C-alpha cells in the first residue's frame, strides 16, 4: 500500500475546453498509438472485428445533448481520462503499492511490474478512469505522457501529452496548476474552469471550461447559415438581367 504525499511540487494536468471540442476522437487515437508503442505494456485490442470486441483506452470521449434552461439544445463532447487527483482514492487501496502519486509533479502512475490486476483501484476511482488490460492483466491509466513531457530527445514543442499535441481544435491544454501564472491556471480562472464531481472529495487537478451559452432570437432557433444564404443581388441588371430573362423562357 502506498500513502499519498502531503503536497507535490507541481500539479501537472489538463484544461479541456468543452466549447471547442468537436468530438473528432483525434486525441483518443493518438493517445492509443503513443501508449501502445512506448510507455508500459501495449494497450491491447482483442477480437477487434468480432462480436465481442474488447479494447483498452486511456482517453475516451462521451457525447451528450444538453438542454440548458434558456436557449436551444447543444451537443457537448466530453473527453475523460485520469484527472490526476490530489487526494487520489486509487492509490491507498492498492494492496501491492503499484499505484502511486509522484511528489515532483503530482502525476498518478502504476508500476506495472507490481500490479496484480485485482481491480481495487478501478473500484475506488469515481470517474471510471482506470481500465484493466485483458491481455496484459494490469491496470492502465492516463500518465499525462510522462515519457514525452520529460523526453529531451524530442523537440520542445512535442514535450506535451499526445492528446494535447494532436488536438486539431486546440481544445486541450497542458500545464502546472500549482503555478498561478501558468497558461492553464489563467485559462481556468478566466473561464470559470470546473472540477469534475468535486463532491467526491478527490480534488481533481484537471479542469473543464464550460460551453458558452448559445442564445436564440425570441420565438425562434438560431440559423447559423442565414448570413450565408442572403442573395447577392435582389435582381440581376444589364446584360445579366436580359440573359436571365431569356433563359427563363427556355
CATH number of the domain within which 173 lies: 3.30.70.20
pLDDT at 213: 72
Looking at residues 158-181, what average pLDDT do you find?
Answer: 96
The 3-state secondary structure of 70-133, one letter per residue? CCCCEEEEEEECCCCCCCCCCCCCCCCCCEEECCCCCCEEECCCCCCCCCHHHHHCCCCCCEEE
Residue 234 lies in a domain: no
Residues 6+ apart with CB under 8 A from 200: 126
Q: Which helix (H) or strand (E) holds 26?
A: helix 26-37
Residue 147 lies in a domain: yes
Domains: count for the chain = 1
- The answer to whether the beta carbons of residues 43 and 112 sit under 8 Å apart is no
Whether residue 211 is predicted with pLDDT greater than 70 in this model: the reply is yes
Looking at residues 145-149, what average pLDDT do you find?
Answer: 95
The CA-atom distances, in angstroms, between 239 and each of 66, 112, 246, 250 are: 52, 77, 11, 17
Residue 233 lies in a domain: no
Residues 6+ apart with CB under 8 A from 31: 57, 58, 59, 81, 142, 161, 162, 163
Beta-bridged to residue 66, according to DSSP, are 74
Q: Which domain holds residue 87?
A: 12-209
Looking at residues 161-175, what average pLDDT do you find?
Answer: 96
For residues 222 and 198, the model is more confident at 198
Residues 6+ apart with CB under 8 A from 83: 13, 127, 129, 196, 202, 204, 205, 206
Residue 85 lies in a domain: yes
Q: Helix (H, G, I), strand (E, B), or coil: what is residue 4?
A: coil
Whether residue 215 is predicted with pLDDT greater than 80 in this model: the reply is no
Whether residue 155 is predicted with pLDDT greater than 80 in this model: the reply is yes
Percent residues over pLDDT 70 in the chain: 90
pLDDT at 1: 65
Largest CA distance in the chain: 87
Please give the DSSP secondary-structure letter assigned to residue 5.
Answer: P
Residue 205 lies in a domain: yes
Residue 219 lies in a domain: no
Whether residue 169 is predicted with pLDDT greater than 90 in this model: the reply is yes
Give me the chain's average pLDDT, please: 89
Residue 3 lies in a domain: no
- The answer to whether the beta carbons of residues 76 and 175 sit under 8 Å apart is no
- pTM of the shown model: 0.82
Looking at residues 198-227, what average pLDDT do you find?
Answer: 77
Residue 125 lies in a domain: yes
Looking at residues 73-91, what average pLDDT do you find?
Answer: 94
pLDDT (tens digit, 9 = 90+) per residue, 106-137?
A: 999 999 999 999 999 999 999 999 999 988 89
Amino acid at each position: 500500500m502506498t500513502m499519498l504525499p502531503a503536497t507535490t511540487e507541481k500539479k501537472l494536468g489538463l484544461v479541456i475546453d468543452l466549447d471547442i471540442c468537436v468530438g473528432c476522437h483525434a486525441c483518443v487515437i493518438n493517445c492509443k498509438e503513443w501508449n501502445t508503442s512506448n510507455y508500459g505494456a501495449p494497450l491491447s485490442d482483442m477480437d477487434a472485428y468480432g462480436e465481442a470486441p474488447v479494447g483498452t483506452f486511456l482517453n475516451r470521449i462521451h457525447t451528450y445533448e444538453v438542454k440548458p434552461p434558456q436557449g436551444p439544445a447543444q451537443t457537448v463532447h466530453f473527453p475523460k481520462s485520469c484527472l490526476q487527483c490530489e487526494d487520489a482514492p486509487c492509490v491507498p487501496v492498492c494492496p501491492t503499492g503499484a499505484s502511486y502519486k509522484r511528489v515532483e509533479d503530482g502525476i498518478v502512475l502504476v508500476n506495472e511490474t507490481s500490479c496484480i490486476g485485482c481491480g481495487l483501484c478501478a473500484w475506488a476511482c469515481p470517474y471510471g478512469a482506470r481500465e484493466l488490460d485483458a491481455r496484459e492483466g494490469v491496470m492502465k491509466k492516463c500518465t499525462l505522457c510522462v515519457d514525452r513531457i520529460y523526453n529531451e530527445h524530442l523537440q520542445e514543442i512535442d514535450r506535451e501529452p499526445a492528446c494535447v499535441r494532436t488536438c486539431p481544435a486546440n481544445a486541450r491544454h497542458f500545464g502546472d496548476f500549482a503555478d498561478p501564472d501558468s497558461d492553464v491556471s489563467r485559462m481556468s480562472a478566466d473561464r470559470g474552469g470546473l472540477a469534475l464531481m468535486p463532491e467526491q472529495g478527490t480534488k481533481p487537478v484537471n479542469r473543464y471550461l464550460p460551453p458558452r451559452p448559445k442564445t436564440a432570437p425570441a420565438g425562434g432557433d438560431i440559423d447559423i447559415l442565414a448570413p450565408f444564404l442572403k442573395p447577392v443581388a435582389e435582381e440581376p441588371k444589364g446584360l445579366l438581367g436580359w440573359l436571365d430573362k431569356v433563359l427563363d423562357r427556355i
